[in-house]
């Protein structure tokens, strides 16, 4: 997990806790043909924080990822996060004492 954070964001981080689970299913036949490994994903969501102020270089980006940025938690609900529709659940996951199951997203 921490290796993935470093590869995709450039930040060294520490895991604070597991906070949610979501499923993302792509229904677009063109996208399914182009990237079959990304058409049905189970997302394990963790609350992490950077342990350094300065990022390193991201080694690789996920499909359709433009960049990575850290934001204050109070701004997350208004961000264009992927999968589309997940942003409103972020505050709920962070406030909850237990992991949150998020309904399936279809794109």
Determine the Cα–Cα distance for residues 41 and 43; give it in Å rounded to an integer: 6
Q: What is the pLDDT of residues 21-77, one digit of tens each?
A: 999 898 888 888 888 887 888 989 999 988 987 777 777 777 667 777 777 778 887
Which structural domain, as residue segments, surrounds residue 17? 2-106
Whether residue 82 has pLDDT greater than 70: yes
**pTM of the model as a whole:** 0.75
Q: Which two tokens stand for residue 32?
A: 């399914």
At residue 18, the pLDDT reads 95
CATH number at residue 32: 3.90.79.10
**Count of domains for the chain:** 1
Could you give the C-alpha distances from 92 to 3, 35, 40, 106, in angstroms and in order?
26, 31, 24, 21
């Amino acid at each position: 997990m921490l290796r993935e954070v470093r590869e995709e964001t450039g930040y060294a981080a520490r895991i604070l806790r597991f906070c949610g689970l979501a499923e993302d299913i792509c229904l677009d036949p063109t996208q399914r043909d182009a990237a079959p490994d990304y058409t049905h994903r189970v997302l394990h969501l963790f609350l992490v924080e950077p342990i350094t102020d300065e990022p390193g270089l991201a080694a690789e980006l996920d499909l359709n990822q433009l960049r990575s940025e850290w934001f204050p938690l109070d701004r997350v609900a208004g961000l264009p996060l992927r999968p589309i529709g997940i942003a409103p659940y972020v505050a709920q996951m962070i406030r909850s004492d237990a992991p949150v199951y998020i309904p399936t997203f279809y794109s």
